[in-house]
Amino acid sequence: MKILKIKILIEDINDHSPEFPQNEITIKFLERDLKGTKIPLLNAIDKDISLENSQIAYMIKKTRREPFSLSIKKQNDGVFIPELTLEDKLDREVKDSYMLSLEAKDGGNPPKTATLKVHISVTDFNDNTPVFSQKVYNISVSNSHQRHLPILTLKATDQDSGDNGRISYHFNHKTSQNIQKYFVLGKKTGDLFLHDNFQFTKKQSYKLFVEARDGGKPPLKTVTRVHIYVINNQNTAPLINVDFVSPLSESSAAVSEASKIGSFIAYVMVTDTDSGPNGEVICDLKHDKFKLAKIDSKEYKMIVKGLLDREIRDHYKVSIVCHDMGSPQLESKKYFSVKVTDVNDVEPHFTKETFQFLTYENQKVDFPIGFINATDPDLGDGGQLTYSIINDNNNDNIPFQLTKYGFISTSQPIDREMKDIYKFQVLVKDNGTPSLNDTANIVIEILDKNDNAPYFTFPNNDPYNLDVHYHPHSKKDITILRASDKDTGNNAFLTYGILRSNDKNLFTVNSHTGVLSFSRTVYQNDAGTYELQFIVKDGGTPVQSATTAIILTLFVSNDTSPMLTAVPFQSGHDLNMTWVIIIVAAAVILSVAIVVSITLCVFRCINHTNNSPTTAENPNFLSQTEMRQLLYQTNNPVAITRNAEEIFNRNLQTIKSKSQFFLEMEHTPDEWKFSTTQRRLPPVPQRCDSIHSQGRRTSSIMSYNSDTLTSQKDREASKSNGKTKPYDEIPAEPEYTNDNPVAATILKGQQIQDTYLQPT
């Protein structure tokens, strides 16, 4: 058995005709499409498979007037697509549709065909402008016309279709609003009516501009003129019409204040439809700034008569009066206003030549200082003012800024201690052309804040070593504390005080002057070293302070008694009170002395009666001389007991010495006007006690020519000498000259004096 493969070839015959998907189609061309515009058509399909039988050719059937041709386009897949090509521009208004036939023929023998009907419609484009039936309409209207009837019906046509051919009617912008208010125009119908406020006697003729507008996008329009003539059958007054060169409204005009005399302001036309003298018109304008100049019998021009100044007056009321020559005369008046417009002819002016402000230091940036103001009567840009700081070398570092509206504020923190007053100039200018300006002075004073603590200028070391040598005749003042504060006013008002190490209440400091002095009588047991701490405070809020320390070494003279106190010197105005105190004290002391003396006498009598030992035999009793020597020679504070007789004698001597002293004071009433270095202590009974020191005799000082209170020295320098130089002592006397002993100090064997003046 054998198997054979047999291949049978079937030969195609042209048994199928080409077929279109549809029998007819409709395509659209736009009226505005250009020549060469193509629209693809449907392609035909042939079911035959042979190349000849399936190959299709296309052709169109048309007349010569049809502006179309056929072209074939081959696609990427090899399929041929027929396209209809526009050969000429279309005009829908001429022909808006076409009918063509597209024939498809295969390549068989005989060939077979198929036909496709093609309907072509032309879509409208808004290429036609509406057209009025007349270019100009002339109509006459009588005063007997009924207002509900149109005086004219406008008609316009448009060859476009749809919205492009739909027409509406409007007043053109050339028709003034003053005229439009007398007429009503039908938007869709074109009917023109008289408005209810139309007055036949107001004007003789009107000219309207009306436009017809289609509904295209964009719309097209055309304009026509309508002349309306009013026929007035009544006798009327003249009608005044004023056309301003620069109108603001129907009854107002603008004129520049810079206008020269003779400048044209308005055109005035007068109408009077009457005939004969009733139609002859004369007009007049009575004003000091404006006048009428005649152009024709019923035409005038309004011109400037006098110079204008807007800053003096910016508005004028004007009236024009016209009357005819009839009998009786009929008169009309036209009222309107003239507004004078501004030109930049006035300089701005500051309200002050100098603006002064106060502000505190240490304010934040942008802290407001104040506002400066200037005025400018000009309007518009000529009255718009801008402020600025004049920049020069002196103003480079000013810590202020100025807005263009005149507000001054800080541009950086301010330190009054660096500068307490600022002076600079500011400029104001308007925005006119040309720009005008003015200047003013600015003075800003910086007020103090308590931002600086006081500091001591003396003592300048902390701690500071100070040696004070006290003597019974020394003054109570020791030294002066000095401090400073960079602030001012209450912030720099300083008060002094002692913080510590004044347990004995030996020292006091004047809170205002800073004078350090002894607060009480100094005794020998007060000698020693004191570590005093002082404070100085200002008067600001909050209070600022500083402290310093003085290591004060007090040396007390051997003549100082622990029990004796001094009577203070009194100034001239206290002498009367002093004498009263002295007399009272003397009386009290005398009374006490008498009582004590009587008591002692009684005890002596009793002791004598009892055969007690005599005073001379008892070593516990000392004579007055021995008692006095004990008082003067002791080096340390001791309790001293005196008999009544000695106390009595001593008090009498004290009173006599004081009396002598104050008698001398009365002869020198102006003594306090001189330095204390010129003062002399009151005379005291002289004593000739001798003191031998280191093998040589030193005479005692009987009086001092100085009441200086302090001497300062470095303690270490004093100790470096290896020894302490002995003091020159004054024998103690029962004289008391001050509650606070006058201190005399000796530095390295030399006497240093500080001079003080008694306050007046």
Chunked mean pLDDT (size 10), the chain, 760 residues: 81 79 88 83 82 82 82 80 85 84 85 88 82 91 83 89 88 90 91 85 80 88 90 76 91 90 93 78 93 92 92 92 86 93 86 93 91 88 88 77 92 89 92 88 91 91 91 86 91 91 87 92 89 92 92 83 43 58 88 89 73 42 36 35 42 43 39 34 37 32 34 37 35 36 33 33
Paired strand residues for 552: 466, 530
DSSP 3-state of 164: helix
Domain residue limits, the chain: 24-123, 131-231, 239-341, 349-447
Q: What angle, 0 to 180 degrees and rounded to 10, lies between the N-to-C axes of helices 575-609 and 644-666? A: 160
The pLDDT assigned to 205 comes to 84
DSSP 3-state of 671: helix
Buried b (16+ CB within 10 A) or exposed e, 383-414: bebbbebeeeeebeebbbebeeebebbbeeeb
CATH architecture of 349-447: Sandwich (2.60)
Respond yes or no on whether the N-terminal peptide bond of residue 613 is cis (omega within 30° of 0): no
SS3 of the chain: helix, strand, coil, percent, to 5: 15, 35, 50
Question: Per the structure block, which two tokens stand in for 334?
Answer: 């036209």
> Is the dihedral angle over the CA atoms 354, 358, 364, 366 positive or is it negative?
negative
The CA distance from 444 to 450, in Å, is 19
The CA distance from 468 to 552, in Å, is 7
The pLDDT assigned to 648 comes to 41
| Furthest-apart CA atoms within the chain: distance in Å | 201
β strands within 661-728, DSSP E? 690-693, 696-699
| Model confidence, pTM | 0.37
Q: Are strands 421-430 and 507-509 parallel, antiparallel or unpaired?
A: unpaired
Task: Output phi, psi for 148, to 5 deg.
Answer: -80, -5
CA distances, 323 to each of 250, 281, 283 (Å): 22, 6, 7
> Is the dihedral angle over the CA atoms 750, 756, 758, 760 positive or is it negative?
positive
Question: Per the structure block, which two tokens stand in for 615?
Answer: 């005073």
How many Cβ atoms are within 10 Å of 312's Cβ, its own excluded? 9
Q: 252 with 235: CB under 8 angstroms?
A: no
> Is the dihedral angle over the CA atoms 248, 253, 258, 264 positive or is it negative?
positive
Strand order in the sheet with 464-470: 464-470, 545-556, 528-537, 495-500
Buried b (16+ CB within 10 A) or exposed e, 188-205: eebbbbbeeebebbebbe
Q: 58 with 153: CB under 8 angstroms?
A: no
The pLDDT assigned to 395 comes to 64
Paired strand residues for 113: 105
The pLDDT assigned to 380 comes to 80
How many Cβ atoms are within 10 Å of 58's Cβ, its own excluded? 20
**Chain centroid to CA 589:** 79
The pLDDT assigned to 201 comes to 60
The pLDDT assigned to 429 comes to 92
Buried b (16+ CB within 10 A) or exposed e, 340-361: bbbbbebbbebeeeebebebeb
CA distances, 621 to each of 562, 604, 613, 615, 617 (Å): 22, 13, 11, 6, 9
Q: 476 with 487: CB under 8 angstroms?
A: no
CATH class of 239-341: mainly beta
Span 24-123: which CATH code?
A: 2.60.40.60
* CATH topology agreement for domains 24-123 and 239-341: yes
Paired strand residues for 139: 228
The CA distance from 509 to 497, in Å, is 6
Query: Residues 338, 344, 348, CA angle at the centre, nearest 5°?
Result: 120
Q: 698 with 691: CB under 8 angstroms?
A: yes
Which CATH code, of 3.40.50.620, 3.40.50.300, 2.60.40.10, 2.60.40.60, is assigned to 131-231?
2.60.40.60
- The one-letter code for the residue type at 93 is E
- The one-letter code for the residue type at 587 is A
The CA distance from 455 to 486, in Å, is 9
Q: 401 with 388: CB under 8 angstroms?
A: no
The CA distance from 241 to 207, in Å, is 15
**Chain centroid to CA 670:** 61
